[in-house]
A = this chain, B = another copy of it.
Amino acid sequence: MRKIRYRVAMSLDGYIAGPKDEFDWIVTDPDVDFGVVFKQFDTLLIGRRTFEVMAKHGNTAIPGMKTIVFSRTLQQSEYPDITIVAEGCEKTAATLREKRGKDIWLFGGGSLFQSFLGAGLVDTVEVEVIPVLLGEGIPLLPSPAKHAKLKLTSHNVYKSGRVSLQYAVKESTYKVRAV
């Protein structure tokens, strides 16, 4: 079955973006082959806030990827290249999993991850730890939330100091919360 994989870059102190959505601290690493990463996915799941940051930088669609944005306020007619869904994460996940396809990239932000994890819908958490302390910002997983056990399935350490850690979600005791 297609997996739902939360894959993000993170500072050592657990932030996926700076307090003003900065991502300039996520240095490009020539040793990381993003082509190989992108080939594993055909669908992106994006929260409304993260999508607005992407749109501000002119990125609203990635070729070859179906982009699904969770929002009750964005208008579908204004964004013909993406799919806007106002429904909960359970229904979207069920619809996607009924179809064959590549894996599904839970792109962020943290609140969307919180909702999917809460509903027991996340298969893997894949973090690229960047060698920096941000001190503040958008957390990997907003609090409060109950804990989830993980199993380290693979890892990679790059010359730049970037550390890639891939975990399977073993157990989630999160409460279900509507997106």
Which residues in A have some Cβ–Cβ distance to B below 8 Å?
11-15, 18-19, 25, 117, 125, 127, 129, 131-137, 139-141, 143-152, 155, 157, 161, 163, 165, 167, 174
Contact = CB atoms under 8 A, between A and B. Distances in A.
B155 A146 contact: no
B144 A19 contact: yes
Copy tally for this chain in the complex stands at 2
B132 A14 contact: no
Contact of A129 (B135, B149, B165): B165
Nearest to A15: B14
A13 B141 contact: yes
Contacts of A125: 12, 133
Contacts of A134: 147
A23 to B, nearest CB: 13
